[in-house]
Amino acid sequence: MTDKLFGTDGIRSAAGAFPLDEASLLKLGAVIAALLPAPRVLIARDTRESGPAIESLLTRGLGRGARVSSAGVLTTPGLAFLTRELRFDLGVMISASHNPFSDNGIKIFSRRGEKLSALMENRISSAFAALKRVPGARPRPAAAIASDVYVDFLCRQGIELTGSLQKIAVDCANGAAAPLVPLLFRGLGLDVIPGFDRPDGRNINQGCGSTFPAALRELVRQNHAGLGIAFDGDADRVIFADARGRILAGDHSLFLIARYLRETEPRFNGKVVGTVMSNLGLERAFAGMGIEFLRADVGDKYVFRLMKKSGAILGGEPSGHVILRHRQPTGDGPLTALFLMKALRFFACDAAAALDQLSLYPQQTLDIRVRRKKELKGWEELQKASGRFARQYGRQARLLVRYSGTEPKVRVMIEARDQDTIEKNMPVFRSLLEKEIGE
């Protein structure tokens, strides 16, 4: 067992296992309640069957010292928006994002609707480790909070889409988008065909959602849709498909929305933030447009921190986690979908044309489950192999080896101008990693 709480995206583990076991959740609630005097805390969850029990335990841990409200099932960006808009001191989202139903997690937001700073995460971790016992105080009843304010906000962002005749297929991932997005799109007068919109507590992300693009392709094909949209379990990320089922992921969204913002948004400062995983083709396309492209570490909280530092209002990850900072301080799948559709309308093009406007380098990412996480920088054999790769291919290819922050996996990404480079080198790194640390 490990006492590490926070990964790249909050706290995450198998439901019922540390730190999502009963004792840990009670402790965590007590620690959160002690961050501020009598804090107002808003809690929401995605559709996992473990969500209500985790919410109940956290509320018990918060005790009578906190004033707790519950938004029930809601998207992560919806929770962040309501925390800021309704002036809560903290927002707590219970979700494991794109992970299977058996996992769950906790994301904590400040009163500004932002992910907690590293300093605050460390403060919570230290207090959690130091707390030995939680008093058994009975919590105050949680007040129910409706999501109408968030839906109204999204409607205002998409008002110019009203009357669009394009048929849109939407994969809700059997998650938090299911009760929200079809209602939103229909309210805008869009012709929406929802799919994977019947969550049962166990089918969240199961063969659907942004991490299973084949489901979106089939949904588009079956319904003869002009655009496909797929969210993950808590709808903080989104990918798209054109009428042929070709996928537009985060890099495509950044490219198209950046072009749109450059033409329509005075606050766009000519900078876009991506990550070390973002495609070289995107970086070079931005350079050709005179847009500065900055790279952060993997994780939306790192993207957001670099956005604040650079003044950028647009940033995101290839996974489809896009932040429109002038509207929301966190990744928002429905908001991103509205902006991408607005960009398509502004440029009078469809998703297929938008896809063809950006040429990405071939890129392959390999996930390897590991039995232990050996320090990568001090791993001599790995460093030698990486050095040989860099010397041989120079700026025509990139190699990135990193551990997942949310799962027991090591990820190898190779990107190159030609596919042969990837096919030649990926087996080398796969063999090296599996031999030393693979399960």
What tokens appear for 184 in the block?
């939103």
DSSP code at position 373: -
Domain boundaries, the chain: 6-146, 149-247, 248-356, 363-437
* Residues 6, 234: Cα–Cα separation, whole Å: 18
Is the N-terminal amide bond of 194 cis, ω within 30° of 0? Answer: no
Asked if residues 235 and 177 have their Cβ atoms less than 8 Å apart, the reply is yes
CB 49 within 8 A of CB 201: yes
pLDDT tens string, the chain, 439 residues long: the values are: 345 789 878 999 999 999 999 999 999 999 999 999 999 999 999 999 999 999 999 999 998 889 999 999 999 999 999 999 999 999 999 999 999 999 999 999 999 999 999 899 999 999 999 998 776 667 777 889 999 999 999 999 999 998 777 899 999 999 999 999 999 999 999 999 999 999 999 999 999 999 999 999 999 999 999 999 999 999 999 999 999 999 999 999 999 999 999 999 999 999 999 999 999 999 999 999 999 999 999 889 999 999 999 999 999 999 999 999 999 999 999 999 999 999 999 999 999 999 999 999 999 999 999 999 999 999 999 999 999 999 999 888 999 999 987 778 999 999 999 999 999 999 999 999 999 999 9
Q: Topology of 6-146 in CATH?
A: Alpha-D-Glucose-1,6-Bisphosphate; Chain A, domain 3 (3.40.120)
**Which amino acids are annotated catalytic?**
97
> Given this chain, do its domains 149-247 and 248-356 carry the same CATH topology?
yes
Spatial distance between the Cα atoms of 12 and 104, rounded to a whole number of angstroms = 6
DSSP character for 65? Answer: G
User: Residue 415's Cα: distance from chain center in Å?
Assistant: 22
Residue count (the chain): 439
Strands 292-296 and 322-324: unpaired
Kindly report the CATH number that applies to the domain delimited by 149-247. 3.40.120.10
Residue with tokens 């990918």: 239
Helix (H) or strand (E) holding 109: strand 103-109
For domain 248-356, which CATH number applies: 3.90.25.10, 3.40.50.300, 3.40.710.10, 3.40.120.10? Answer: 3.40.120.10
- Alpha carbon distance 300, 274 (integer Å): 9
* CA 204/CA 104 separation, integer angstroms: 11
Instruction: Give CATH for domain 363-437.
Output: 3.30.310.50
Pair 179, 231: CB distance under 8 Å = no
